[in-house]
Amino acid sequence: MISKDFVSSMFSIAGRVAIVTGATGALGGAIAAGYGLQGAKVVLTGRSVEKLRKMVETLKKQQVECVWIDGDPAIEADVQKIVHYAVNTFGRVDILAACHGFNAPKSIVDQSLEEWKKIMDADCTSVYLLAKYVAEQMIAQGGGGKMVITSSARSKMGMAGYTGYCTAKGGVDLMVQSLACDLTAKHGINVNSINPTVFRSDLTEWMFDPESAVYQNFLKRLPIGRLGEPEDFVGLATFLASDASNFLTGGNYDATGGYWAC
């Protein structure tokens, strides 16, 4: 029997504690703000202390309960530090939103092994470390949890110059599926990924010029008729962090504006 209480609250994340990595980026920043404005307690993390401070100041002015801690998700000690800080500050961790990422586009014949390793560590090893230490905390505290991992449309589509990035994001999608097998039935931790296409950020702003050949070429494969805005991902990220998605785990969710369909 479906209850009114469940239906009226199934999308709520109010009062839950969320760690958001890549919080100084466009997508991570949108999700951190979106979670916080819905009443979640948010731990923002990234590598830029100055940007983190400014973001937290801005969010606190909007009555968001939030803190920041700098750290590199590809470094084990930093991940442990972030999780410990979240627990010491808010008492638990209910949601992990991993929104960080890195790419250095280059043909494989020109890319060094060091660059390959940096991409793999930044995009894949980092997710493993976060999932490991957040899962340990969620299991210890009980009650399950939600992991929302940012992958990419490129996880399932190759592209020239993207051998490292596509491989790393493909690994993330398969990791999400394996983590679900490890964590959901036994511990109540749902693990899913969001797979976005290009969304607006400081790095991609040049791609949003409607007169550019790049923009026009994208529109040929985008049924939605436009590129993504950061706020376009807040709804999906909230859904996957809320009770409304309790039966969903191990999924790689299309946030491409239909790009995969064409």
Q: Which of 133, 165, 253, 259 is catalytic?
A: 165
**Rounded Cα–Cα distance for residues 129 and 121 (Å):** 10
- Phi and psi of 226, rounded to 5°? -165, 165
Q: Is 112 exposed, middle or buried (0-12, 13-18, 19+ CB in 10 A)?
A: exposed
- Answer yes or no: 133 catalytic: no
User: Could you give the count of Cα atoms lying within 13 Å of 50 in the half-sphere of its Cβ?
Assistant: 0
Question: 212: Cβ–Cβ under 8 A, 6 or more apart, which residues?
Answer: 206
What is the rounded CA–CA span in Å between residue 34 and residue 232? Answer: 11
106 contacts: CB under 8 Å, gap ≥ 6: 115, 161
Q: Is the dihedral of CA 203, 58, 23, 111 positive or negative?
A: positive
Question: Dihedral through CA 193, CA 39, CA 246, CA 129, nearest 10?
Answer: 40
What Rg do the C-alpha atoms of the chain give, in angstroms?
Answer: 18
Residues identified as active-site = 165
